[in-house]
Amino acid sequence: MRAVLLFLGGFAACLSLIVLLGAKHSPTKAKATTDRDVYYPATEDLGKDEMRVVALGTGMPSVRPKQAAACWLVELGNGDKFLFDIGSGCHERLAAQKIPYDYLNKVFIGHLHVDHMGDLPSLWLGGTVMNRLVPLRIWGPSGATKEFGTAASMQKMKEMYVWDIGTRSGVIDFRGGELEVNEFPFNGINEVIYQENGVTVRSIPAVHGLDGAVSFILEWNGLKFVYGSDTIPNKWFVEHAAGADIAIHECFLPPTLLVTKQGFAPKEALMVGTQGHTSPEQFGKVMSLAKPRLAVGYHFYNDFDTEPEVRDRVRRTYDGPLDLAVDYMVWNVTKEEIRVRMSAVDEEVWPSPALKKKIAPDTGSAINFSEFTISGALGFPEVTQPIFDEINEKYGTDIKPLFTK
Ligand SMILES: [Zn+2]
Ligand SMILES: [Zn+2]
């Protein structure tokens, strides 16, 4: 009897081993990507008729670990990618998408508040260091006068970073440092500001801050994305967001919470929360009129103790499909379905390598140190030369250090 049991036990063990060895997947291996409830950046191809929208900044001008300031990435099944606003803190969220920088060369800025353009210098100049080898293209509105327009702002930005640019010119392949600025009239109503590769972007005026704020409408392949940037409720958004597949509009904290959570005075809370920005009830009213397939509200500190009140107040005026966004929320949009998920982000991510071949910089345009600064440099040849020798030997080069004394 005991021998039989031993035999059966051994047989079962062998069978388990065979099953284990023969199995294609261990029991802990993730399911197929299409079944996942979480989006892992750079692991899913888009369908040829599909749009992906990623929230890279949904918060306020004072950024916090959970929420950067306004930034939205739109990726299309034809390979095109667009950034709408580029607010403070969003660049690291963008890095988490693992997209080579050559694809991140189109930025549409709805208005020139820091929470909608604060990370532009970082994307512009930071992007050149490793791998954007094409010019950065910017679209933004004019202002009431020339000095308040996007072109003037970009010119000042170039002047502000003249030292940064000076360190890179003639040192790296700096083609990505070139800026292509496309300023368009802020008061154009549904005017085409971009049309390439089957994609059309239009602008409509917004009412926010000063003259010179706009909202955007992107249309491609029968899909329509509408992005408000900042605005109080306005007739242009209501009219032109109608029929959108996804319509994003600011939805500020209600004045009650601006007082209790953010320390605003009552008058300030009312003015900022309803006359300078859009309260949840006003957001709901806008969406009730525009009736998009999906309404997305953003631009508030979205937490367990604020979201319920914001949602309740939106629901007083709107009963359609609704998401209140936080950073890393992702929407896959097709004609049949809008699927929303959260991203799982790789904190260890490095910038994706350059796709184009780098060209050697024209070293003649490099700016040199003065004799004074050079006189202070310690070349440490006994330390530095072996580092050069190691590389030169490995790659068959003959590179020499700049500082030799
Ligand atoms: Zn603003
Ligand atoms: Zn804003």
Kind and range of the H or E run holding 218: strand 214-220
Shared domain check, 210 and 102: yes
Distance in Å, CA 169 to ligand 2 centroid:
34
Domain holding 402, by residue range, is: 371-405
Report the CATH number at residue 53: 3.60.15.10
Shared domain check, 236 and 121: yes
Is 336 a member of any domain? yes
- Round to whole Å and give the CA distance between 182 and 141: 8
- Round to whole Å and give the CA distance between 346 and 157: 31
Say how many C-beta atoms besides its own lie within 10 A of residue 354's C-beta.
16
Shared domain check, 239 and 384: no
Is 34 a member of any domain? no
Distance in Å, CA 60 to ligand 1 centroid:
9
Q: Which residues of the chain have pLDDT under 70?
A: 1-35
* 284 token code pair: 């709901």
Distance in Å, CA 266 to ligand 2 centroid:
20
Distance in Å, CA 272 to ligand 1 centroid:
11
Shared domain check, 52 and 114: yes
Shared domain check, 327 and 225: yes
Shared domain check, 276 and 224: yes
> Tens of pLDDT along 225-239?
999 999 999 999 999
> Tens of pLDDT along 94-131?
999 999 999 999 999 999 999 999 999 999 999 998 78
Shared domain check, 380 and 329: no
* 87 token code pair: 């607010």
Shared domain check, 338 and 376: no
Distance in Å, CA 65 to ligand 2 centroid:
17
What's the pLDDT score for residue 115?
Answer: 98
Taking alpha carbons only, the member of 245, 248, 241, 247 closest to residue 290 is 241
Number of domains composing the chain: 2
Could you tell me which residues are beta bridge partners of residue 196?
Answer: 199
Shared domain check, 311 and 176: yes
Shared domain check, 200 and 100: yes
Kind and range of the H or E run holding 181: strand 179-184
> Which residues have beta carbons under 5 A from ligand 2 (an ion)?
115, 230
Kind and range of the H or E run holding 53: strand 51-57
> Which residues have beta carbons under 5 A from ligand 1 (an ion)?
113, 230
Kindly give the residue spans of alpha helices, DSSP state H, lying in 206-331: 235-240, 255-260, 266-270, 280-290, 307-315
What's the pLDDT score for residue 244?
Answer: 98
